[in-house]
């Protein structure tokens, strides 16, 4: 993996094999899994964490069960091993059955994926969380393009917030990204420094939107896929 690459892994939630996937998780992850009230949510958490471990293990040249995590003050996970913590960064997003994982070297990274939900009240939600410029741009779009614009904007903003790793302390309305679904990338300059972040569309479709964000403007996206079959067979085309 090169320093100027962001690897984006795409996966779908496994249909079965969760018993074996559980065996990859740590004690604290299993404890978190048990806190979910619904079995579907519990299984999805196990699947996400197991796939994240499998992906990271390919870079660390280790076993998925040996990956150890720590968390910053806002809950963003990172690698606990000091030999890797400053070099390899990652972020995971999920929506429905979709899972996206971004991996980078020596730069903060964030990713977001959203399945299109026709019931989302996009106009009222945008007025609550988007910046004034984004709201004006969204409302100027033809009604037929407005939902696509909303989800494009939303995923870009979420990816940037997740890359920053500051959680809800960074309000979505405090910065601007491009709204139009056809635009390919956005550069964001932090107000109080010269740091530049690039936010980029990821391959999606009519049913979902996705975006990645990382520090600097000199990186490119490399897309990869992973498929877990039966909890023990991993396919990486």
- What is the average per-residue pLDDT within 119-124? 93
Q: Are residues 129 and 163 in the same domain?
A: yes
Q: Are residues 16 and 96 in the same domain?
A: yes
Q: Are residues 127 and 89 in the same domain?
A: no
Q: Are residues 123 and 202 in the same domain?
A: yes
Q: Are residues 50 and 87 in the same domain?
A: yes
Domain boundaries, position 6: 1-107+223-237
pTM: 0.91
Any idea what DSSP says for residue 25? S
What residues does 214 pair with on adjacent strands? 109, 198
| Whether pLDDT at 182 is above 90 | no
Q: How confident is the model at residue 10 (pLDDT cuts 50, 70, 90)?
A: very high
Any idea what DSSP says for residue 17? -
pLDDT of residue 231: 59
Number of domains in the chain: 2
Alpha-carbon torsion 43, 233, 111, 23, what sign? positive
- The CATH number for 157's domain is 3.90.470.20
Query: Contacts from 72-79 at CB under 8 Å and sequence distance 24+?
Result: 72/165, 74/165, 74/166, 74/167, 74/168, 74/169, 75/167, 76/162, 76/165, 76/167
Q: Are residues 170 and 209 in the same domain?
A: yes
Q: Are residues 63 and 156 in the same domain?
A: no
Q: What is the mean pLDDT of the chain?
A: 88
- What is the average per-residue pLDDT within 196-208? 83
Q: Are residues 176 and 213 in the same domain?
A: yes
pLDDT of residue 183: 60
């Amino acid at each position: 993996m090169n320093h100027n690459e962001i690897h984006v892994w795409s996966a779908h939630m496994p249909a079965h094999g969760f018993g074996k996937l559980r065996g990859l998780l740590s004690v604290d992850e299993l404890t978190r899994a048990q806190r979910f009230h619904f079995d579907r949510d519990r299984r999805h958490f196990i699947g996400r964490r197991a796939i994240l471990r499998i992906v990271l293990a390919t870079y660390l040249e280790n076993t998925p069960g040996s990956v150890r995590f720590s968390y910053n003050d806002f809950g963003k996970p990172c690698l606990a091993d000091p030999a890797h913590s400053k070099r390899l960064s990652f972020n995971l997003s999920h929506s429905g059955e979709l899972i996206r994982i971004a991996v980078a070297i020596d730069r903060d990274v964030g990713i977001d994926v959203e399945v299109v939900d026709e019931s989302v009240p996009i106009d009222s939600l945008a007025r609550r969380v988007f910046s004034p410029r984004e709201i004006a741009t969204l409302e100027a779009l033809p009604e037929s393009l407005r939902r696509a614009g909303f989800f494009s904007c939303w995923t870009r903003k979420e990816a940037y917030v997740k890359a920053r790793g500051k959680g809800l302390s960074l309000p979505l309305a405090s910065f601007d990204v491009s709204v139009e679904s056809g635009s390919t990338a956005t550069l964001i300059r932090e107000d109080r420094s010269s740091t530049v972040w690039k936010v980029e569309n990821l391959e999606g479709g009519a049913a979902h939107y996705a975006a990645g964000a990382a520090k600097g403007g000199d990186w490119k996206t490399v897309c990869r896929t992973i498929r877990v079959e039966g909890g023990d067979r991993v396919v990486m085309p």
